[in-house]
Amino acid sequence: MAFTTSHTQKHVVVLALALQLTFLLMGTSSAQLSVSFYSKTCPKLLSIVRYGVQSAIAKETRIGASLLRLHFHDCFVNGCDGSILLEDTATFRGEQTAPPNNRSVRGFNVIKAIKSNVEKVCPGVVSCTDILTLTARDSVNILGGPTWEVRLGRRDSKTASFSAASSGVIPPPSSTLANLINRFSAVGLSTKDMVALSGAHTIGLARCVSFRSRIYNESNIDTSFAKLTQRNCPRSGGDDNLAPLDVTTPKLFDNHYYKNLLNKKGLLHSDQILHNGGSTDSLVEQYSQNNKIFDADFVTAMIKMGDIKPLIGSQGEIRKVCSKPN
């Protein structure tokens, strides 16, 4: 029996080809990232990165949260391009001293060490941006959270922008709910993504200067929690004194961050605002009750965040040293 192509089948084929052509013309950057990007050119990459993160966390648990935050602060400023890793010089001012990052972002030495080890095995192949993205994933997983496959193939920017990093694209700890939603929306992340990614605050520490106003001036805070936190964060001075973002299990990636919000024990104003009678209350409640749903939504959001405006193909470069352009 001979098979013939009907008019409808022809239409479907033409439509499929048209969609494929449109997709190619758009040059969708995330589509050009691939889980197997370095499988032939640097097959040992994943093990080298994970060993580097494990070693760093073994020395200091907090560094896992710092690496995760470093990835977040990189992606929100002109996309995931490793720009935050570029150090200032006599003629160049990058993002590290911008208000959201100054004396706050950390973990650069870990990235430097991992990059050095990668270069020994496959020189000039792997971008600093991809290494940073992988360290964020491994930090979450090593501290008890989920794992996921990271799409790779990002290249490194040749420059950074102090002004862009200072412009408010990175939401400050004093953010309103509307500001959080708007800032995440501006980079293609939904409200659900924002609430899920905020769960990264289940690990790590914050500086007194970022939560002082909340623990002394706000009313939607547990009294005993406020008094306990005030012991290490005076009304004046001690700006760099630290407190855990998750008072319950600060070294474990779990859903206690959301449980704390239900009990008005969010450390930052931008934490507690997620559960304060607003539109995100139900998501916080859901995540507090179901760790699996939180993990799944967090992974989805992390993958989306890692896809923000990456440099691909012939864009940017593969830096030899992460702290300076080639």
Rounded Cα–Cα distance for residues 70 and 111 (Å): 10
| Sequence-ordered alpha helix ranges (H) in the chain | 7-26, 45-59, 62-75, 108-121, 128-142, 162-165, 177-186, 191-198, 208-217, 223-230, 256-262, 269-272, 281-289, 291-306
Instruction: For residue 73, indicate whether it is catalytic.
Output: yes
Rounded Cα–Cα distance for residues 150 and 97 (Å): 29
Query: Packing angle between helix 281-289 and helix 191-198, nearest 10 degrees?
Result: 50
User: Which tokens sit at 294?
Assistant: 């939180």
Rounded Cα–Cα distance for residues 66 and 90 (Å): 27
Catalytic residue among 73, 201, 256, 269: 73
269 neighbors 171 (Cβ within 8 angstroms): no
Q: Residue 111 is which amino acid?
A: I
204 neighbors 62 (Cβ within 8 angstroms): yes
Residues identified as active-site: 73
